[in-house]
Amino acid sequence: MVPKHSVYYLIPEDHVDLEELAEYLNGPEARAWLEANCQMAANGFYRLQTTVMEDLPVPERFGEVIQDTLI
Protein backbone atom coordinates (compact mmCIF):
# COMPACT_ATOMS: atom_id res chain seq x y z
CA MET A 1 0.00 0.00 0.00
CA VAL A 2 1.34 3.44 -0.94
CA PRO A 3 -0.11 6.37 1.03
CA LYS A 4 -1.42 9.33 -0.97
CA HIS A 5 1.22 11.93 -1.91
CA SER A 6 4.20 9.77 -1.01
CA VAL A 7 5.58 8.78 -4.40
CA TYR A 8 7.53 11.16 -6.61
CA TYR A 9 9.18 10.18 -9.85
CA LEU A 10 10.99 11.62 -12.84
CA ILE A 11 10.72 10.55 -16.45
CA PRO A 12 14.00 11.75 -17.95
CA GLU A 13 14.46 12.45 -21.64
CA ASP A 14 16.32 9.83 -23.67
CA HIS A 15 19.61 11.76 -23.65
CA VAL A 16 19.76 12.04 -19.85
CA ASP A 17 22.38 9.95 -18.07
CA LEU A 18 20.42 8.32 -15.22
CA GLU A 19 23.52 7.89 -13.08
CA GLU A 20 24.35 11.59 -13.46
CA LEU A 21 20.77 12.55 -12.57
CA ALA A 22 20.79 10.27 -9.51
CA GLU A 23 24.18 11.69 -8.49
CA TYR A 24 22.76 15.23 -8.66
CA LEU A 25 19.59 14.33 -6.71
CA ASN A 26 21.67 12.58 -4.03
CA GLY A 27 24.34 15.27 -4.04
CA PRO A 28 25.08 18.22 -1.78
CA GLU A 29 23.28 20.88 -3.84
CA ALA A 30 19.91 19.07 -3.88
CA ARG A 31 20.36 17.97 -0.26
CA ALA A 32 21.04 21.54 0.90
CA TRP A 33 17.97 22.77 -0.96
CA LEU A 34 15.77 20.04 0.56
CA GLU A 35 17.12 20.73 4.07
CA ALA A 36 16.33 24.43 3.63
CA ASN A 37 12.84 23.93 2.19
CA CYS A 38 11.32 20.75 3.65
CA GLN A 39 9.60 20.25 6.99
CA MET A 40 11.13 17.72 9.34
CA ALA A 41 9.19 14.52 9.95
CA ALA A 42 9.74 11.81 12.56
CA ASN A 43 13.12 10.13 13.04
CA GLY A 44 15.09 12.75 11.10
CA PHE A 45 13.27 12.26 7.81
CA TYR A 46 12.08 15.13 5.65
CA ARG A 47 8.46 15.60 4.64
CA LEU A 48 8.52 15.75 0.84
CA GLN A 49 5.37 17.65 -0.02
CA THR A 50 4.19 18.24 -3.57
CA THR A 51 4.29 22.03 -3.22
CA VAL A 52 7.93 21.82 -2.17
CA MET A 53 9.02 19.14 -4.65
CA GLU A 54 7.59 21.14 -7.55
CA ASP A 55 10.16 23.84 -6.78
CA LEU A 56 13.18 21.54 -6.44
CA PRO A 57 15.78 23.02 -8.80
CA VAL A 58 16.88 20.51 -11.42
CA PRO A 59 19.52 21.67 -13.92
CA GLU A 60 18.24 22.23 -17.47
CA ARG A 61 20.72 19.68 -18.84
CA PHE A 62 18.36 17.02 -17.46
CA GLY A 63 15.48 18.20 -19.62
CA GLU A 64 12.29 20.17 -19.59
CA VAL A 65 10.32 20.22 -16.35
CA ILE A 66 6.78 18.89 -16.65
CA GLN A 67 4.58 18.59 -13.57
CA ASP A 68 1.48 16.47 -13.70
CA THR A 69 -0.85 14.69 -11.32
CA LEU A 70 -1.65 11.01 -11.53
CA ILE A 71 -5.32 10.16 -11.52
For the ranges 17-21, 48-52, 55-59, the one whose mean pLDDT is highest: 17-21
Is 64 within the bounds of a domain? no
Is 3 within the bounds of a domain? yes
Residues in CB range of 30: below 8 A, 6 or more apart: 24, 56, 57
Which residues form the domain of 8?
1-59
Q: What average pLDDT does range 28-37 have in this prediction?
A: 93
pLDDT of residue 53: 83
- Residues 65, 70, 71: CA angle, nearest 5 degrees: 150
Residue 50 or 26, more confident: 26
pTM for the model: 0.69
Look at residue 71 and tell me whether its pLDDT is greater than 50. no
Is 45 within the bounds of a domain? yes
Domain count, the chain: 1
Is 70 within the bounds of a domain? no
Percentage of residues in the chain with pLDDT exceeding 90? 27
